Amino acid sequence: MFSLIVAIDDNFNIGKNGRLPWDCPEDLEKFKELTTGDVIIMGRKTYESIGRALPNRVNIVISKSLLVQTVDKNAADQIEKNTDKNAAQSVAQNAIQSVAQNATQNTVKIFADPWDVVRYCDKNERGKEWFVIGGAAIYEWFWNRGLIYNAHVTHISGSHENCDVKFKLLMSEANIIYTDVLSKKATYRLYRSYNDAEQNCLNVIKEILATGNKKSDRTGVGTMSIFGRQLRFDLRHNTFPLMTSRKMFLRGIFAELMLFIRGQTNNQILEEQKINIWAGNTSRKFLDSCGLNQLPVGDMGASYGFLFRHFGAKYKTCLDNYKGQGIDQLANVINTLKTNPNDRRMIISLWNPSDLQNCPLPPCLYNYQFYVHNKQLYCMMTQRSSDFVVAGGWNVATGALLTYLIAAVCDLTPGELIWNIGDIHVYNNIISQAELQITRTPMLYPKLFVKKRENIEDYEFNDLELLCYDPYPAINLVMNP
């Protein structure tokens, strides 16, 4: 996890002429105590002000200029002699990449792109705390992207004159989890960032368990239920709302979504990938109980994938070819986003009353609407029924991932996911698991990068890059078919 460590005075001052504006040995001792054995991340100016790599720590410097300066003279000569601009650029890039690779093996590791620092730490420094130690621009980069979990702050009393570097760390007293008075003029406080969006989800579970209505249902298990809530999830800065209060199965979430995106309704495609979430609702017994004796085992019926790509066509089985039939709602939305992003009719409807009899399980999530502002893509999804503990986190990740993929093919960036839910319930046979989950304090959401592709149907799982996912252990849950 990333932490921020800073000393700051009453006027948000943190530096003066490349140095600390105060003499506070207690703060320096606290810094040493906290960072020894872990990772420290800094900009070039901070590194130069220290003057050396700090011992017993992994030292990381973010600086494109410092990286380029380390390119050996031979590479520089080749660049200078090469009159072909494209070839020169290629030589330069290869030299920089070579130096970058070597730099990650040395005492001081140099990166030009802060996201590469995130990738490096996530891959190579698990189990350590990753301290961002300055300067102001580096603090702001990590802070503004929601990467800072802990903020270790030494408050220096008073305001110091002629300071030239400030960092406005705005944290509420409610975020303080520990305080230590270091001296008369220095007080250390540990602040923690909270995942309010996921905590809101856990609060819904708490509400259901505390005040939910007891209801019977089609499964015979029975539920505790409430009706009508809205939850919102910020998708900016590559934030991906993958639940952290229990470990989630991203490969399964992706595979199911791609099944829908490709207009497929055959669960055997998922089961071949060892993804069994639809097994109970597409078994021979379940299909026959719905009067769908004509459908083969594994057939989802006229449901999600069919409605995404062939709304209004006549459904037969999952083995039939529907090319050119019905309305391709997904293609229509993508085309409108590219040609008329201010349109107010960018909707994918997954509810066809005339075809419900051909659905073993009619869509729970039945509507998506899209909106664009400042090149950011917003998605509002509406759900009639949510098995909240079992499937709620899955539904959020699916909606967010759909937004990410559509944004990528339309040259937009993800903005926000809004989730409207009707009947929200917890089944009586998973009450204890729900009670366990609400005892956990959510971690920060991970970050997601999606490769650019021209066609949304072409995405593969390795086109996704998930960073900084630190969930609690999985919870054994039962899906009631």
Work out the number of other CB atoms within 10 angstroms of the CB of residue 399: 23
Beta bridge partners, 4, equal 132, 151
How far out from the chain centre does Cα 392 lie? 16
Is residue 428 a contact partner of residue 221, using CB atoms and an 8 Å limit?
yes
Output the six-digit token pair for 351.
């509810």
Task: Please enumerate in sequence order all residues whose Cβ is within 8 A of that of 251, keeping only pairs 6 or more positions apart, or say none.
Answer: 273, 275, 461
Which residues are part of the catalytic machinery? Answer: 364
- How many residues are there in the chain? 481
Residue among 206, 245, 255 nearest 401 (CA): 255
Q: What is the enclosing helix (H) or strand (E) of 10?
A: none
Is residue 23 a contact partner of residue 6, using CB atoms and an 8 Å limit?
no
Q: What is the enclosing helix (H) or strand (E) of 318?
A: none
CA–CA separation, 156 vs 24, rounded Å? Answer: 9
Peptide bond into 135 cis (omega under 30): yes
Output the six-digit token pair for 340.
């008329």
CA–CA separation, 51 vs 275, rounded Å? Answer: 53
| DSSP-derived secondary structure letter, 277 | T
Task: Please enumerate in sequence order all residues whose Cβ is within 8 A of that of 32, keeping only pairs 6 or more positions apart, or say none.
Answer: none
Distance spanning both ends of the chain, measured CA to CA: 38
